[in-house]
A and B are shown apart, each in its own frame.
Chain A
């Protein structure tokens, strides 16, 4: 019937789709492959031999650990700050009406529309003018600017679907503000916050541009990788770290994907 004919796609399209996916993912596989190469100065193909020694080398290098811990710390704190401020901002914009509401909504989203380099330069000059020394906290502040946007965007979309009368109904039934947030608002926006938080974490984790402008002497993981590529010493260690990062970030993002999918079904069931 009709659907049969439409569902069977032509061979050319299938090949094009496969080629597109290969283009996206083969380079990542190459990164994985070079983590096992025996050649440490250049990336020659095919690798002259395979070894797992770089895993041990990477494990024992303190600079890898320093960069990784710094990145995790920055991303965690920036995400936490973004979750609190982004949610509060989304609640204000979606649940109340006040003068300048649309302007505030635009101003909150603006940092993600601006090129990172502008945000970076702006923050750097602002920090210098205010005599704030570049440190761990300036990196966190820089990252929080775009993490808030991600959380805000996710939360505001979900808040719009939580009708105002649900909150009134909760208060009417005897729940104070805190209980209403805990039992009504949070379950309804929770998965959106989780997804927003995951995305914010991932964005912060691999941010290079804003970090270059706001960091002091510290290197976050992406910056460390850039430096390693310029300096050819134990090159495959970079690939080992990249591989670990992919594996470690892939799992939570996969989890977030399934969680939000489930959440959408629950939220949609009320309609």
Chain B
């Protein structure tokens, strides 16, 4: 499989600030790749390094086998969908979409046709004569997408493209983006701080914190087997068991993750692990009850099906889980 984007120990330091610090990643052609992390974690800087708006202070970047350092944005076969869409306010929608073709010297008729096709693809046929100011946020987002895709980029970079949309529109656009990516076969690199978005759309996720990749893998693996406490906290809401509980359960790692929905309040079955503690809090969340069990001072959250009765506060309980649900982590 061809490598679309390669980061080899890439750093981008702004003075003393290490925005990106020794990042290694390899994005395959046709992959839907998400870069997930809180703001200031370096994910957007990585995207800007791919687009060419930033130059690395260390390391090496390749885009489809070609060195990217020193290549200006306008000579890269990547296009970006900006967070604020960055539509040109003085141009019509059609001229916005045709802009990339216009500056490349494509003829008027040909680029008009291509722009109209691109607008049809994002379900905005016939909007060409309007101005960006006359469109809603969701429509502007589609125009920004069409404007990038009309250039047939090898890699499409999306910088929190759904951030400004309301929930309903967001879910709809997630599906559309995913199916668009499948049908076009273009590599999508997607920056988001929304873990649900990353989990539902991406083929692979890189979780960023403090300029470094904390974990890189398939959504299921990142979700179920967080490697560090940060990933456990940021992606979903895994329990992090401290070292003394790990030792009791026979693990040598400094900590371990355990998902609330993998635990049941019952005596252990064959091959299962168990801990005992007291119920310290519970709340009703609809489909499940969230029961917090205090195990020697460590709080363990349990997602208990709503059909089961919730033990009273302060009552002693035994919690059990399959041994392979417990995942050792690298840090405490």
Could you tell me which A residues sit within 8 Å of B by CB distance?
163, 165-166, 168-176, 179, 183-184, 187-188, 266-271
Contact = CB atoms under 8 A, between A and B. Distances in A.
Given A165-B82, A166-B88, A183-B99, A172 B74 contact: yes
A172 B79 contact: yes
B73 interface: yes
Contacts of A173: 74, 79, 99-100, 103, 147-148, 151
Interface residues of B, number: 29
B80 interface: yes
Given A174-B74, A271-B133, A169 B103 contact: no
Interface in B108-142: 131-134
B88 A168 contact: no
B80 A169 contact: yes
B152 to A, nearest CB: 11
Contacts, number: 81
B133 A269 contact: yes
B285 to A, nearest CB: 40
B137 to A, nearest CB: 13
B88 A169 contact: yes
Contacts of A267: 89-90
Nearest to B150: A173
A99 to B, nearest CB: 13
Given A172-B52, A172-B78, 6 more contacts: A172-B51, A172-B79, A176-B103, A268-B133, A269-B89, A269-B132
Given A174-B151, A187-B90, A188-B90, A269 B131 contact: yes
A174 B101 CA distance: 8
B208 to A, nearest CB: 21
B163 interface: no
B100 to A, nearest CB: 4
Contact of A270 (B89, B103, B148, B151): B89
Interface centre among A163, A166, A267 (most CB of B within 10 A): A166
Interface in B83-104: 83-84, 86-90, 99-100, 102-104
Nearest to B73: A171
